[in-house]
Chain A
Amino acid sequence: MAEAAKSGAAPAPAKAKKKFLYVNRKAPYGTIYALESLEVVLIAAAFEQEVSLAFLDDGVFQLSKGQDTAGIGMKCFAPTYRALGDFGVTKLYVEKEALSERGLTVEDLQQVTYEDENDGFKAKPSIVLIDRAALAKVMAEQDVILSF
């Protein structure tokens, strides 16, 4: 620290908000990662950070529509994604390549919307289809990346 100060590296100016990206790469239910990610997302959103989510690899399965966990005795947390908009989380990036490798299209995903307060609270889609190269750019723009 002291050496860094001597070498002239000024501390970054304090920001009101940081950009947080939650990277989701695991299918739901088989492991606890997907549920844990959602829990932490809600915490960060409550602290009014700029939060977005990325779904790639098996993480795209988290957004599959029609999930019904009655038969396996686990909590179905799929509806929680639809509540994220109320917490100011309005960007869910879904990687196109991950979908196609799994035989999925955006039609297989549940609809997630948020109310745009800058546009008369109109419902707008939260899910953003994005290719791998563009997702890499989104990752590069973040202050903090949390992986699940």
Chain B
Amino acid sequence: MSMLHTVNKSPFESNGLRSCLAHASKGDTVLLIEDGVYAALKGTAVSGDLWRCRIDVKFCVLGADLAARGLDKGRLIDGIRVVDYGGFVDLVTEHGRTQAWL
């Protein structure tokens, strides 16, 4: 059964995202929330990490956390889906388990 991973720390400050990607399995979803949303930006020092995983893992990002930080959707890596809080709940129910990479 697939897993939903949440990452809430900036990838420039913590290795939570890297560890998450190293442990995620094919068919899993990674939801970026809070300071984790910075990982969704294209053209950064960590963009390549997400890009390499995009075939096996789906990426979502919480829209409210993007807006709070002034990040426009046009600056996201292609293929990342923006969800609202309802979408967050849907993701939890669609996946068997949820793992938070704090």
Contact = CB atoms under 8 A, between A and B. Distances in A.
Contact of B35 (A27, A64, A69, A101): A27
Interface in A51-103: 57-58, 61, 64-72, 74, 76, 78, 101-103
A27 B68 contact: no
A148 interface: no
Interface stretch (B20-28, B39-47, B51-59): B39-47
A102 B41 CA distance: 8
B67 A68 contact: yes
A82 to B, nearest CB: 14
A31 to B, nearest CB: 8
Given A57-B12, A58-B35, A72 B44 contact: no
Given A71-B63, A103-B47, A30 B8 contact: yes
B45 A102 contact: yes
B9 interface: yes
- Grouping DSSP codes into helix (H, G, I), strand (E, B) and loop, the A interface class, with mixed when no group exceeds half, is loop
- Grouping DSSP codes into helix (H, G, I), strand (E, B) and loop, the B interface class, with mixed when no group exceeds half, is loop
Contacts of B75: 103
A27 to B, nearest CB: 5
Contacts of B42: 103
Contact of A103 (B44, B63, B68): B44
A101 B48 CA distance: 12
A29 B69 contact: yes
Nearest to A62: B69
Interface in B65-80: 65, 67-72, 75
* A30, A31, A65, A102: residue with the most chain B Cβ atoms closer than 10 Å: A30
